[in-house]
Amino acid sequence: MKQRLLAILEVFFIALFCFSLYKLVDMFLDYRAGDEIYEGAKIFVEAEDEDEYYFKLDLEGLRTVNEDIVGWIQIPDTPIDYPLLEPDNNSYYLKHTYDDTYSDFGSIFIDCSSSFLDFNTIIYGHNTKNDSMFGSLKKYKDKDYLDEHPYIYILYGDYEKKYAIIAALTVEVTDSAYHFTEGKVEYQKTWLQDLIDRSEVPSPKEKITGEEKIITLSTCTSRTKTERFIVIAEEVKTVWER
């Protein structure tokens, strides 16, 4: 009886191992396919001036692929270098790449209720295990990483905007960080101060006015379904007008 039980357990654990290995291989094959899809998008973008970090983006060419593409997001010397999409809902691009291919890789997209005209613009991307998409954001828990990669560049429409990262923290989906309704200056000042106070990395921002233009890069974590890691950045310059 004991030997039979051991044999059953052995078969069970072998099956479990094989299933886990299959899922792992399947995930990384999906990642590789996603990386290849996004590598194809880079033919539409190039840097023109490394001193000012100007973009040259063929936005019209990208929009022939998908009309939801509105620009590009890049953090120099990191994996974040992707088309930026503006959908009419927050679900489609969780499972579709920028060229409408169905994939768990998803896309980098702006919250459908958000806008760059708002005080706070939210941008979503998946937390992948190979650091693609927004998988590398978690590295902003390290001050040295922030010091080495302090800026986010976004080309949106006719403008390339430069953002300085000022906070990085773990939150729940119900957190005030996701409130992007316009408020009074004092409310916005309090809102931003709270996020900076909770930042897991020391913030370089010295003075808050409440009139800043903020972006929030948001990705999931591997711990719970409702936990997110966010990186907050402040617009500091419009680098280029096309």
Mean pLDDT of the chain: 84
Domain assignment of residue 143, yes or no: yes
pLDDT of residue 41 exceeding 70: yes
First to last CA, the chain: 78
Asked if the structure places residue 69 within a domain, the reply is: yes
Give the CA dihedral 85, 193, 236, 70, nearest 10 degrees. Answer: 10
CATH number at residue 131: 2.40.260.10
Question: Which three-class secondary structure state does DSSP give residue 59?
Answer: helix
30, part of any domain: no
Structural domain includes residue 8: no
Q: Is residue 4 one of the residues assigned to a domain? A: no
Token pair 């005209």: residue: 117
Strands 159-172 and 151-156, by their bridges, are antiparallel
Total domains in the fold of the chain? 1
Report yes or no on 17 lying in a domain: no
pLDDT of residue 23: 45
pTM of this prediction? 0.84
- Average pLDDT value for residue range 13-37: 52
Res 157: pLDDT: 81
DSSP helix/strand/coil, 15: helix
State the Cα–Cα distance between residues 49 and 7, nearest whole angstrom.
Answer: 66
Q: Let me know: does 39 contact 29? Beta carbons within 8 Å.
A: no
Range of the domain at 192: 38-241
3-state secondary structure 96-161: ECCCCCECCCCCEEECCCCCCCCCEEEEECCECCCCCECCCHHHHHCHHHHHHCCEEEEEECCEEE
Q: Answer yes or no: is pLDDT of 15 > 50.
A: no
The tens digit of pLDDT for each residue in 137-195 reads: 999 999 999 999 999 999 988 788 999 999 999 999 999 998 766 678 998 999 999 99
C-alpha distances (whole Å) from 143 to each of 71, 149, 215 are 29, 10, 19
